[in-house]
Structure 1
Amino acid sequence: MLSNIRIVLVQTFHPGNIGASARAMKTMGLSDLVLVNPRRFPDPEASRLAAGAEDLVDNARVVESLANATNDCVQVVGASARLRSLPLPHFDEPDVMARDLVSHATSDPVALVFGRERFGLTNDEIRCCSHQVSIPANPDYSILNLAQAVQVLAHEVFTAWRRRPHNDYRPAIPAEDRPPTREQLGHFQVHLSQVMQRSGFINQPHARTEAQLEALFARARPSRKELSLLRGLLGSLEQHLPGE
Structure 2
Amino acid sequence: MLSNIRIVLVQTYHPGNIGASARAMKTMGLENLLLVNPRCFPDPEASRLAAGAEDVVANARVVTSLAEAVGDCVQVVGASARLRSLPLPHFDEPADMAETLVANASDDPVALVFGRERFGLTNDEIRHCSHQVSIPANPDYGILNLSQAVQVLAYEVFRAWRQRPDSGFRAPRPSPERQPTREQLGHFHDHLSRVMQASGFITQPHARTEDQLQALFARARPSRKELSLLRGLLSALEERPDDT
TM range (shorter): over 0.9
Secondary structure of 1:177 counterpart: coil
Deviation per CA, 1:117-146: give whole Å up to 9, x if none: 000000010010000000000000011100
Task: Find the counterpart in structure 2 of residue 103 from structure 1.
Answer: 103
Partner AA of 1:172 in structure 2: R
1:204 CA displacement: 1.9
Alignment gaps of 5+ in structure 2:
none
In 1, Cα distance between equivalents of 2:167 and 2:224: 28
In 2, Cα distance between equivalents of 1:154 and 1:23: 11
Deviation per CA, 1:16-59: give whole Å up to 9, x if none: 00000000000000000000000000011101100110000000
- List, as ranges, runs of 4+ consecutive aligned residues in structure 1 with deviation greater than 6 Å: 167-171
Q: 1:155 to 1:167 in 2, by over 3 A?
A: closer
In 1, Cα distance between equivalents of 2:20 and 2:191: 41
Secondary structure of 1:6 counterpart: strand
Corresponding residue pairs, total: 241
Task: Find the counterpart in structure 2 of residue 66 from structure 1.
Answer: 66
1:240 CA displacement: 2.6
Alignment gaps of 5+ in structure 1:
none
Question: 1:220-239 to 2 correspondence within 5 Å?
Answer: 220-239=220-239
RMSD of Structure 2 on Structure 1 (CA):
1.7
Q: TM-score, normalised by structure 1?
A: 0.95
In 1, Cα distance between equivalents of 2:28 and 2:119: 26
Q: 1:53 to 1:241 in 2, by over 3 A?
A: farther
Aligned partners of 2:92 and 2:134 also within 8 Å: yes
In 1, Cα distance between equivalents of 2:156 and 2:241: 49
Task: Find the counterpart in structure 1 of residue 116 from structure 2.
Answer: 116
Matched-pair identity in %: 80
Aligned partners of 1:83 and 1:90 also within 8 Å: no
In 2, Cα distance between equivalents of 1:209 and 1:195: 14
Question: 1:2-81 to 2 correspondence within 5 Å?
Answer: 2-81=2-81
Aligned partners of 1:75 and 1:129 also within 8 Å: yes
Partner AA of 1:113 in structure 2: V
In 2, Cα distance between equivalents of 1:136 and 1:144: 11
Partner AA of 1:110 in structure 2: V
In 1, Cα distance between equivalents of 2:172 and 2:25: 28
Partner AA of 1:41 in structure 2: F
1:173 CA displacement: 3.7
Aligned partners of 1:6 and 1:30 also within 8 Å: yes
1:177 CA displacement: 2.2
1:172 CA displacement: 3.1
Q: TM-score, normalised by structure 2?
A: 0.95
Aligned partners of 1:34 and 1:62 also within 8 Å: yes
Partner AA of 1:128 in structure 2: H
Q: 1:41 to 1:241 in 2, by over 3 A?
A: farther
Aligned partners of 2:98 and 2:157 also within 8 Å: yes
Q: 1:167 to 1:55 in 2, by over 3 A?
A: closer
